[in-house]
Chain A
Amino acid sequence: MTADSLDPAALRDLLARAALRDQTAFADLYRRCSPKLFAQAVRILRNDNQAEEVLQDAFVSIWHHATDYSSGKSAPMTWMTAIVRNRALDLVRRPKSEVYGEDTDELAAAVPDAAAGPLDLLLDGRSAAALRDCLGTIEPRQRQTIALAFYQGLTHSELAAHLREPLGSVKTWIRRGLLRLRDCMDARASGGV
């Protein structure tokens, strides 16, 4: 997959054509976007079968709601990723979750330590400049906790167990990190940078 295959303008065009029930365009959209979206679902669910289900549901939903996207304001990949993430998180947080049992420590142990990997890629990458720069300004501990939460879909208590840190500290790092991130990104947006 080349970087160009996820070019926002190209994806916008494919979504617009999918909204007009162009199945060829939709197939192209799937071909381009499904690897990233599948990777996100697998990360959160840590279960390939469930990730396939989520991806399938998400694309059916994208097909039916492609019309709504055209009036939206977010980037196409952001819109589609949010659909996948929401479904994956809903599934992993559903009331009778028995997939990983109730043992938070066990779950935490199953999370790879390479969680910082994608964040490093992001910090080095060329996309999402504001996000990347602003992530760079927050305290490393806060940044790592936020990245772990985002990429692995962990709750506060799961994060605390994984990091072997008090729950209160984890919550504070996340809260402060997110506030800082928001202020930084809003300042950049309003400054027209």
Chain B
Amino acid sequence: MAAQRYREPGLRDRLAAEYVLGTLGGPARRRLQAIARYDPALRGAIADWEARLVPMADALPGRTPPGRVWDRVQARIGAHSEPTARRPFARLAFWRAVAVAGALCSIALAAWVGVATQSPAPQPVAAHTGRMLALLSDERAQPAMTVSWPTEPGADGRVEVVIRIMMPHPEMGPDQAWELWALPPAGRDAAPRSLGLIGIEREQRMKIEAALFPTLLEASGVAMSVEPRGGSPTGRPTGPMLLRGPCVKV
């Protein structure tokens, strides 16, 4: 299904309605979600339908969930618990962090060794070009995302940027967009340059226009900010920089 079709308002509205109602099958549902990340009009239509239909849920008789659900929520938001708490979940969180760190090391290592970069399976990156790799961490210094790109543009002059999300539970608010920024070289007083909006899939690829390539080449790092739907209205980061990190040549 071509993304173009969703631009037709009648169809867009109908699909948004069916998405919120829940009748779309898995593949259609995921396609619509993918398009919605980049299409503010579709997100708006979905929000309108949520406002219309979701109050139907008010009529459901409540059912109290088991107490363990709240215990786990508390453990995950770090409420009243030390990092070394003996709760099973805290330990799980620790091992998750270890797994994330391990995954990161293998990515970096694979790149260093020059093994068919990044991913074991599809779309190998040309092996003779170097790559820049930015490791973005959250405010608690937990690795959360890698952003990488080749040091040479592709045949069409554009650059394919590969984004990998390592957060265990990426979640974007309903009125949000996540925007990536190239940070200026150290010591230069310049504004970050927008690289575009991203979604919450584990692995994403986006093409960057040739004009942005010099910016990418000299970037000191990459950051991700939370912006209103459709991205920053000003061309500068307006929301909190949730993630940021330096980039290195690998």
A153: chain B residues within 8 A (beta carbon): 22
Docked Cα-Cα span, A69 to B21, in Å, equals 22
Q: Which residue of A lies closest to B56 (CB)?
A: A150
Contact status A178-B21, CB under 8 Å: yes
Q: How far is the CA of A81 from the CA of B60 in the complex (A)?
A: 11
Would you call B96 an interface residue if the criterion is a C-beta within 8 Å of the partner chain's C-beta atoms?
Answer: no
- In angstroms, Cα B76 to Cα A22, docked, is 15
Q: Is the CB of A131 within 8 A of B56?
A: yes
A119 touches B59 (CB 8 A): yes
Q: Could you tell me if A174 and B21 are in contact, using CB atoms closer than 8 angstroms?
A: yes
B61 at the interface (CB under 8 A from A): yes
B176 touches A61 (CB 8 A): no
Could you write out 19 A-B pairs with CB less than 8 Å apart?
Answer: A23-B74, A35-B64, A38-B62, A39-B62, A52-B66, A71-B175, A77-B55, A93-B25, A93-B29, A94-B26, A118-B59, A119-B56, A119-B59, A122-B56, A125-B58, A128-B58, A149-B23, A151-B57, A182-B49
A97 interface contact, C-beta 8 A: yes
B24 proximity list for chain A (CB < 8 A): 93, 155
Decide if A121 touches B22 in the complex (CB within 8 Å): no
A-B pairs with lowest CB-CB distance, top 8: A35-B62, A122-B59, A68-B173, A93-B26, A128-B55, A38-B65, A118-B59, A121-B59
Q: A150 near B21 (CB under 8 angstroms)?
A: yes
Kindly supply a per-residue 1/0 record for chain A positions 78-100, scoring 1 wherever the CB is within 8 Å of any chain B CB and 0 otherwise: 11011101000110011101000
| Chain B residue with Cβ nearest A96 | B26
A38 & B63 in contact (Cβ 8 Å cutoff): yes
Chain A residues in 8 Å Cβ range of B26: 93-95, 97
Name the CB-closest residue of B to A152: B22
Cβ contact of A122, chosen from B58, B63, B79, B226, cutoff 8 A: B58
| Interface residues contributed by chain B, number (CB under 8 Å) | 50
A residues adjacent to B (C-beta < 8 A): 1, 6, 23, 26-27, 30, 34-36, 38-40, 42-44, 51-52, 55-57, 59-61, 63-65, 68-69, 71-75, 77-79, 81-83, 85, 89-90, 93-95, 97, 118-119, 121-122, 125, 127-128, 131, 135, 146-147, 149-151, 153-157, 159, 174-175, 178, 181-182, 185
Chain B contacts to A: CB under 8 angstroms: 13-14, 17-18, 20-26, 29-30, 47, 49-66, 68-70, 72-74, 76-77, 79-80, 169, 171, 173-176, 226, 228
A71 to B174, CA, bound (A): 11
Complexed CA–CA distance, A70 and B66 (Å): 29
* Interface of chain A: mostly helix, strand, loop or mixed: helix
Chain B residue nearest to A6 in the complex (CB): B58
Q: Which residue in chain B gives the minimum CB-CB distance to A60? A: B76
Give CA–CA (A60, B174) in the complex, Å.
15
**In the bound complex, do residue A185 and residue B14 qualify as a contact, i.e. CB atoms below 8 Å apart?**
no
- The answer to whether A82 touches B50, judged by C-beta atoms less than 8 angstroms apart, is yes
Which chain A residues lie closer than 8 Å to B63 at the CB level? 35, 38-39, 42
Question: Is the Cβ of B29 less than 8 Å from the Cβ of A89?
Answer: yes
B51 CB → nearest A CB, Å: 5
- State whether B23 touches A39 (Cβ < 8 A): no
Q: Which residues of A contact B72 (CB under 8 A)?
A: 56
From B23, B61, B65, B175, give the contact of A52 (CB < 8 A): B65
A82 and B65 contact, Cβ closer than 8 Å, known pairs A154-B23, A155-B25:
no
In the assembly, what is the distance between CA of A27 and CA of B56, in Å?
A: 25
Complex CA gap A164/B20 in Å reads: 24
Closest approach, in angstroms, between the C-beta of A133 and any C-beta of chain B?
Answer: 12
User: Given known contacts A52-B66, A56-B73, is B29 in contact with A43 (CB within 8 Å)?
Assistant: no
Asked whether, in the complex, the Cβ of B58 is within 8 Å of the Cβ of A127, the reply is yes
Complex interface: chain B residues within 8 A of A174 (CB): 18, 21, 23
